[in-house]
Amino acid sequence: MWKFLKMMVAEDVTTTVEVLEEVLVEEEVPLQEEKETLLQEEKVQADLEAIVTQLQEKVALQEEVLLQEKVVLAEEALLQELEVFHQIEHQELKVHLKEHQEDRKVLVMLQEKEDLEKANIIC
């Protein structure tokens, strides 16, 4: 009888081990799937972070380009103002020279008149 009981216990143990192995296998599949899902989520998160970094770099580059364009536009505006200033100065200089020439003509005419009057007095 002991032999029969030992066989029954051994059979129960074998059956229990087999059942436990099946349970472990059945539980391992969802765990493996969950692990794969987590790995995929981590990859997606890493991809999103890479995309965000690329976008931030692109925005920074665009801001730098815009700043450079503003600097160029400001320089062009200053050059245009300088050109206008020089044109105005040039016109003012022309006017001043013309006035100076006219004054000089008047002085020459007065000198000639004075010389003529001296010459008439002497003669």
pLDDT of 7-47, one tens digit each? Answer: 555 565 566 666 666 655 666 656 677 788 888 999 999 99
Q: Who contacts 71 (Cβ-Cβ below 8 Å, separation ≥6)?
A: none
pLDDT at 23: 59
For every residue of 25-57, DSSP letters joined together read HHHHHHHHHHHHHHHHHHHHHHHHHHHHHHHHH
Asked whether the whole model's pTM tops 0.85, one would answer no
Asked whether the predicted pLDDT for residue 123 surpasses 80, the reply is no
Which of the two residues, 21 and 74, has the higher pLDDT score?
74
pLDDT of 76-113, one tens digit each? Answer: 999 999 999 999 999 999 999 999 999 898 888 988 88
Which of the two residues, 70 and 114, has the higher pLDDT score?
70
Tell me the C-alpha distance between 43 and 66, whole Å.
34
Rounded (to 5) percent helix, strand, coil in the chain: 100, 0, 0
